[in-house]
Amino acid sequence: MKYATFGMEKAAYKVAILVNDIRRDEIQKAYLTPYGLDPSQVIVIQVHQTPGKKKTPVAEIKDWIDQELVPVLTDLGTEYLIVGDGDYFKVLGKTTKVEKMLGYVIPSDLGPWCSVYVPNYRTIFYDPGKVHEKIALGINALKSWIAGTYVTPGVDIIKFSAYPRTYDEIEAWLERLLEMDVPLTVDIEGFGLKHFNSGIGTITFCWSKHEGIAFPIDYEAVEWTDEDGGKHFGRQIVNKPIRHLLKRFFERCEQKLIYHGIAFDVYVMVYQLFMDHILDNKGLLYGLEVMLRNWECTKLISYLAVNSCSRNKLGLKDQALEFAGDYAQEEIKDITKIPLPELLQYNLVDGLSTWFTAEKNWPKMVADQQQEIYETIFKPATIDIIQMQLTGMPVNMDRVLEVEKVLQAISDTALAAIRANPLLGAYEYKLKEAHVDKRNAELKVKRISINDPECDKIIFKPTSDPQLQGFLFEHLGLPILSRTQAKQPSTDGDTLKALQNHTKDPNILAFLASLIDFNAVGTILNSFIPAMKGAQLGPDGWHYLFGNFNLGGTVSGRLSSSKPNLQNLPANVFMEAKRLTQQLRDSLLAFISKGKLSLGKLIKYCFQAPRGWFFCGIDFASLEDRISALTTKDPNKLKVYTDGYDGHSLRAYAYFGDQMPDIDPNSVASINSIQDKYPPQRQDSKAPTFALTYQGTFKTLMNNCGFTEALAKSIEFSYHELYQVSDAWVADKLNQASKVGYITAAFGLRVRTPMLHQVIRGTSKTPYEAEAEGRTAGNALGQSWCLLNSRAGSEFMGKVRSSDFRHDIKPCAQIHDAQYFLVRDDIDAIRYANDNVVKACEWQDHPDIWHDEVKLGGEFSIFYPDWSKEVGIPNGAEPSEIYAAFEEHVGKLQKAA
């Protein structure tokens, strides 16, 4: 057993620190000195790790603790354990939730000692602030235990509570709340995660982090057992009298209301309290006016207070852990499985924790100068997010079912091609052999052979990452190009495409092509088709797909979405023609010949406006490229817009100019002629440009594009030679980040760089992780300007909601740098949308992006008859021009048909 002490060795040590690697000075600096622990009373013990394995099996951990650790601790008279290894703390603390146990002192049943968990001291490098906070939770808890002042986290945080149950009691309390004239935190518990199925089970209002009330609304306390034998303590009802009281409260409430995740709570309550059905736009808008009169959101505040290139945990339980402890309910996904008294107290603690989080993170946000972006970008965007979540995307269900059949046929064809590949037989034989060895090691008497019937079930599964990794990288010997966060060889779509550049074996190429097809279709079949089939039927007979939009879900601040991930809809999920094998293209010919879709637009084909409406949208014109030019002021990026260069042709000449002897590099017309004269080289320039733009290197080009090292280095050099100014601009930002610990992105958004802050960039000693963080930060400098899309949406929809068209223009989604709407079939509404949303997208009054020649903007489009077919409407078009553009589009469709 390896160990270390501080000073002369002794016979007894009160405190033992368990770690998986002993670095005495770092341990003392992280665990002892800041907390005044006496080093002479501490012994450091290195835990057992299985050689050659990343993770030590639980059985080995238990054996080592029983046979080696316990006797040593007993001999040393140890009273306290500080455990810096999560796997060992899970066994010692008998828990599966290590992070949730921060601040808890756990008495041991193995001996007369108690344990606290702390993060491994070596993780301090990755985010010093966060890790030091967590270490402090653990060690300060131990110190208070030793001093006899320890209080279990979350215990005694409720100083006053009331749980009214009757109509009169609830009415009386709501009146008292109105009379308090203080801010209130609000939190609901629902029966589902969508507005149409959530109901409002219970609600809490708290006027401090120790005082509040909670009461039921749609939760009826009644015990029953479901078909699977599960016990329930309540059921969902629609309690109209209590709902009426709650609605009247919000209508009369002038106080500030504070939520953690307002895009859920208010989104649900607007629908449940103010809307009669999913298309009730009048109720929706009235609900927004009432519920968003005076509010704050601690989830957004927390994001702005802690946003970092390291992982952000913005959940209420994470943000308030030191205050409320681990109070999460295992059955919270189904609140009927929780007795009402427990549910009400749980809901109340959510409200108290929201107060704590506000007090904790508001000062941080203000101190870091993030209040302006909160007030001017994040809060206005939240109104649009809630309206989008309640409006949804229009879906033609017949087309969804039609596309599902096509996709399933493609999937079946691809799977058959995978299974028929001659390379697979030998690998499946290995899998069967491994199964036989494992089973025979488990069996005590009986033995099986590879001919046993149970081995017939052992087949290669392309959805199994371990099997795919074994086949590609061990059996076939393909190079590992990238790794997952778990350090396993990556088999994602980009990697599979890149692997095609690392073999000439026709069988391997055929396998990879079939696998790419299978995965592309599988993503749609397993994610988007089920989501679209779950679209809700409206009273107009049309279906609507409702997603969730997350502001603060990315480091760069750009909007993300979930359930389903609508950000993947336009580009990442659609199958491009070039990604399909000829065999699979042929399987689509019958469908395509009907004129119903083009390859790459399978999902868009399913989105169609209901009768009397148009599905419309606007996409910023080359937003990321323009922003890069505007922010960096790189002349070679700017002249694409000032001089009229074709950007791809300009870069193609920089990379492959030796193949273009007739091109004059000083002539715009000559450079632009590359589009016609050298289309292969122009196409070949796109992938390396994308990789190098996002901080890739020549190795990235070798892996992703299959270039030789010499060619990859040549292209990398040419790219950086072309864009010296923008390179210097990014480098300056990152060098500054290494000094101050953050970069400032769009609208002043702070992106913290904890690893860069501890190193000197660009030296041989700069850790890989710090360089990776630099790439993340560098990418965020450009990607954060997608907040312009949120800003434009807020400007436009703010006008709409106060105009005569408030019921004629409804926001459906914001996806990357595009916005989508339902606009009534009315020429005045179409013209209003075209004029005003384009104007909103043209805004560039921020000093970082203003330019007298290079302008932002986009073109408004009508998608008719569905999203896969688009007619662009000229900026500022008169009604006659709009009619003409639309009629021309319809004429082309009729001719094609």
Whole-angstrom CA distances from 357 to 312, 317, 379, 380, 874 are: 15, 10, 18, 22, 48
Question: Rounded CA gap, 833 and 839, in Å?
Answer: 10
Mean pLDDT throughout 255-260? 98
Confidence of residue 762 (pLDDT cuts 50, 70, 90): low
pLDDT tens string 521-546 = 888 888 889 999 999 999 999 999 99
Question: Rounded CA gap, 888 and 870, in Å?
Answer: 12
Concatenated DSSP letters for 851-876? -SS----EEEEEE-SSTTSEEEE-TT
> Amino acid letter at 656?
F
Mean pLDDT highest for which of 123-137, 217-231, 600-614?
217-231
What's the chain's average pLDDT? Answer: 91
> Amino acid letter at 3?
Y
Say what the pLDDT of residue 577 is.
35
What structural domains does the chain harbor? 3-147 (3.40.470.10), 160-368 (3.30.420.10), 397-552 (1.20.1060.10), 582-624+786-896 (3.30.70.370), 642-722 (no CATH)
Confidence of residue 548 (pLDDT cuts 50, 70, 90): very high
Q: Torsion over CA of 655, 656, 657 and 662, rounded to 10 degrees?
A: -150
Whether a cis peptide bond, with omega within 30° of 0, leads into 865 is yes
User: Residue 574: pLDDT above 80?
Assistant: no
- What is the H or E stretch that residue 393 is in? strand 393-395
- Range list of β-strands (E), 645-734: none
- What is the H or E stretch that residue 468 is in? helix 465-469
> Amino acid letter at 36?
G
Mean pLDDT throughout 656-684? 94
Do 549 and 559 meet the contact criterion of CB atoms below 8 Å apart? yes
> Amino acid letter at 865?
P
Say what the pLDDT of residue 438 is.
87
Beta-bridge partner residues of 175 = none
- What is the H or E stretch that residue 244 is in? helix 240-252
- Nearest CA to 263 out of 372, 383, 391 is that of 383
Mean pLDDT throughout 655-676? 94
Q: Any idea what DSSP says for residue 132?
A: H
Say what the pLDDT of residue 331 is.
63
> Amino acid letter at 393?
M
Mean pLDDT throughout 186-212? 97
Better-scored residue on pLDDT, 581 or 775: 775
Say what the pLDDT of residue 638 is.
95
- Nearest CA to 80 out of 42, 118, 30 is that of 42
Confidence of residue 764 (pLDDT cuts 50, 70, 90): low
Backbone angles phi, psi at 853, to 5 degrees: -120, -45
pLDDT tens string 172-197 = 999 999 999 899 999 999 999 999 99
- Nearest CA to 223 out of 339, 104, 327, 70 is that of 339
Confidence of residue 330 (pLDDT cuts 50, 70, 90): low
Catalogue the long-range contacts made by 132-138 (C-beta closer than 8 Å, 24 or more residues apart).
132/30, 132/34, 134/99, 134/102, 135/30, 135/31, 136/34, 136/35, 137/102, 137/103, 137/321, 137/322, 138/82, 138/102, 138/103
Do 314 and 299 meet the contact criterion of CB atoms below 8 Å apart? yes
pLDDT tens string 491-532 = 988 888 889 889 999 999 999 988 988 888 888 888 889 999
Say what the pLDDT of residue 581 is.
45
Predicted TM-score of the model (pTM):
0.90
Backbone angles phi, psi at 95, to 5 degrees: -145, 160
Concatenated DSSP letters for 157-194? --SEEE---SHHHHHHHHHHHHHH-S-EEEEEE-SSSS
User: Residue 587: pLDDT above 60?
Assistant: no
Do 418 and 514 meet the contact criterion of CB atoms below 8 Å apart? yes
Tokens of 452: 């046993």
pLDDT tens string 691-724 = 888 878 898 888 888 888 999 999 999 999 999 9
Whole-angstrom CA distances from 41 to 6, 71, 234, 820, 874 are: 8, 18, 53, 65, 78
Do 380 and 544 meet the contact criterion of CB atoms below 8 Å apart? no
In this structure, the chain runs to a length of 897
Say what the pLDDT of residue 573 is.
35
User: Helix or strand or coil: residue 567?
Assistant: helix
Tokens of 215: 């009461």
- Nearest CA to 196 out of 527, 539, 526, 607 is that of 539
Backbone angles phi, psi at 464, to 5 degrees: -90, 110
Do 340 and 219 meet the contact criterion of CB atoms below 8 Å apart? yes
- Range list of β-strands (E), 677-800: 742-744, 750-752
User: Helix or strand or coil: residue 380?
Assistant: helix
Angle between helices 623-632 and 787-801 (to 10 degrees): 110
User: Residue 440: pLDDT above 70?
Assistant: yes
Mean pLDDT throughout 735-741? 93
Confidence of residue 571 (pLDDT cuts 50, 70, 90): very low
CB-based contacts of 312, cutoff 8 Å, min separation 6: 303, 306, 552, 555
Q: Torsion over CA of 733, 550, 602 and 676, rounded to 10 degrees?
A: -20
For the chain, what percent of residues have pLDDT higher than 90? 73
For the chain, what percent of residues have pLDDT higher than 70? 95
Better-scored residue on pLDDT, 379 or 567: 379
Say what the pLDDT of residue 596 is.
43
Whole-angstrom CA distances from 306 to 127, 312, 742 are: 11, 7, 11
Q: How many CA atoms lie within 13 A of 441 on its CB side?
A: 6
Burial 836-862 (b: 16+ CB within 10 A, else e): bbbbbbeebeeeebeeeebebbbbbbb
Alpha-helix runs per DSSP H in 292-396: 298-306, 316-319, 321-324, 340-367, 371-373, 379-391
Mean pLDDT highest for which of 3-17, 36-50, 286-300?
286-300
- Range list of β-strands (E), 524-622: 536-537, 543-545, 548-550, 560-562, 613-620
CB-based contacts of 155, cutoff 8 Å, min separation 6: 325
Confidence of residue 594 (pLDDT cuts 50, 70, 90): very low
Cβ neighbour number for residue 531 with a 10 Å cutoff: 18
Confidence of residue 397 (pLDDT cuts 50, 70, 90): very high
Confidence of residue 753 (pLDDT cuts 50, 70, 90): very high
Confidence of residue 599 (pLDDT cuts 50, 70, 90): very low
Cβ neighbour number for residue 20 with a 10 Å cutoff: 16
User: Residue 116: pLDDT above 80?
Assistant: yes
Do 218 and 363 meet the contact criterion of CB atoms below 8 Å apart? no
Mean pLDDT throughout 855-859? 96
Whole-angstrom CA distances from 479 to 334, 704, 790 are: 46, 12, 41
Question: Rounded CA gap, 879 and 832, in Å?
Answer: 10
Confidence of residue 129 (pLDDT cuts 50, 70, 90): confident
User: Residue 589: pLDDT above 50?
Assistant: no
Say what the pLDDT of residue 580 is.
42
- Sheet of 3-5, strand order: 3-5, 42-46, 15-19, 80-83, 114-117, 106-107
Question: Rounded CA gap, 369 and 376, in Å?
Answer: 13
CB-based contacts of 886, cutoff 8 Å, min separation 6: 862, 864, 871
pLDDT tens string 347-364 = 999 999 999 999 999 999
- Nearest CA to 180 out of 294, 251, 256, 242 is that of 256
Question: Rounded CA gap, 135 and 121, in Å?
Answer: 8
Say what the pLDDT of residue 350 is.
97
